[in-house]
Amino acid sequence: MQIRPERFEDHAAIRAVTTAAFQSSPYGHNGEADIVEALRAAGVLEVSLVAAEAADVVGHAAWSPVRIDVAEGDWFGLGPVSVAPAWQGRGVGQALVREGLRMIEAQGAAGCVVVGDPGYYGRFGFETDPALRYGEAPAYLQRLILRGPAPRGEVRYHAAFDG
């Protein structure tokens, strides 16, 4: 399996993988493929990685800028992260997340936030922080500090997440 940046010819496969991944997931709202496309169209899909097995895209992860009331440096939101159902549980998502975090850290990011399962994202160093808020999802909002102080306040994702 290869982890690499998305290419134009991957877009349809990313949509298919994302749709399939969230149809069988208790998380999300089944609009995640639209979020990825809206982030791409707005030019804010900062890091977009695919997991490819031969010519098939089997996973995808996206990072886009977020705003936080009180934060130093650039912060990113991770998500959506999608793995084709037949490939789930094989380390695909983990490989995507680790590579993307490595990339944003190399770009000088201060940190990353994610809304997701604390049991899963905790393995990467994400932690729940009561000083951060994101709508009605406080137990699922987590942050990973890469450099600098911890942020505080409301986290605002790109408008693509509002759909």
- CATH value at residue 20: 3.40.630.30
pLDDT at residue 139, rounded to an integer: 67
Selection from 160, 162, 163 nearest residue 62 by Cα: 160
User: Taking each helix axis from N to C terminus, what angle separates 32-42 and 11-23, rounded to the nearest 10 degrees?
Assistant: 150
pLDDT tens per residue, range 96-148: 999 999 999 999 999 999 998 899 999 999 999 999 998 876 668 999 999 99
Handedness of CA 112, 117, 123, 129 (dihedral sign): positive
CA trace torsion 88, 37, 43, 79 (10° rounding): -30
Burial class (CB in 10 A: 0-12, 13-18, 19+), 108: exposed
CA 148, CA 134: separation in Å to the nearest integer?
A: 21
- Does residue 41 carry a pLDDT above 90? yes
Domains contained in the chain, number: 1
84 neighbors 21 (Cβ within 8 angstroms): yes
Range of the domain at 20: 2-162
